[in-house]
Amino acid sequence: MATVLVVYASRDGQTRKVAERIANVLRVRRHVVEVLDAARAPSDLDLSRFQAVFVGSPVHAQGYLRPVVRFIQSHRTELERIPTLFFSVGLAILSKINDGRAQTMQIVDRLIAETGWHPRRIELVAGALPYTRYNFLIRFIMRRIVKKEGGDIDTSRNYEYTDWAAVDRFAAEFVGEVAANRPIEVPLAAPAANGPEARA
């Protein structure tokens, strides 16, 4: 059994859903899990009591949300001592036109360069496209972006692309290795889904 922290930031709720899914998967396996919105992280948070930490954010404007970046910067020394996994949520990885995975990894690399944090594992998770929750302007912009990438453009409905089985798998696998004190392999992150960059 491990004590695990899942930290996230979210814009439209999909990254929060991924964080909660990770927590539920681990709780079923009898791990102790705390879920924390990075924007509400206490200044005196003690990471030494956790055996593993997940950190997640959606891609937004070619970067990650400031609460997560600030959390990493504030706790970088502690995070370097703990097995950590970073999950990046977005839809660019599903592009039918460009190599969205490579583009997303460039954004991850910039995060690592900016913060000095080196997660042991990185997962690229496809997010959602909640057209009906966008205002007119955002819906118009997102439809144009998505169309360029060969994605879904029917704005009368919402799309969720997250591969939940893949999320379950990497969460259980990562913490299982931590709990067993086995070396953690760092595989090339595979897209955790199947359709452009959206807010998550």
128-153 pLDDT per residue, tens = 887 888 888 988 888 888 787 788 78
What is the model's pLDDT at position 4? 97
Percent helix, percent strand, percent coil in the chain, to nearest 5? 45, 20, 35
Backbone angles phi, psi at 156, to 5 degrees: -85, -5
pLDDT recorded at residue 68: 98
CB atoms under 10 Å from CB of 175, counted, come to 25
In Å, how far are 4, 85, 147, 152 from 54, measured between CA atoms? 8, 5, 32, 30
Domains of the chain: 3-129+160-179 (3.40.50.360)
Q: What is residue 156's predicted lDDT score, i.e. its pLDDT?
A: 86
Q: Which residues contact 58 (CB under 8 A, 6 or more apart)?
A: 9, 10, 11, 12, 14, 15, 64, 65, 88, 89, 90, 127, 199, 200
For residue 9, what are the β-bridge partners? none
Give pLDDT, residue 117. Answer: 97
Kindly state the helix (H) or strand (E) to which residue 105 belongs, with its residue range.
helix 100-115
List the chain pLDDT tens, one digit each, 200 residues.
Answer: 899 999 999 988 999 999 999 999 999 999 999 999 999 999 899 999 999 999 999 999 899 999 999 999 999 999 999 999 999 999 889 888 888 899 999 999 999 999 999 999 999 999 988 788 888 898 888 888 878 778 878 888 888 889 999 999 999 999 999 988 755 444 444 444 444 444 45
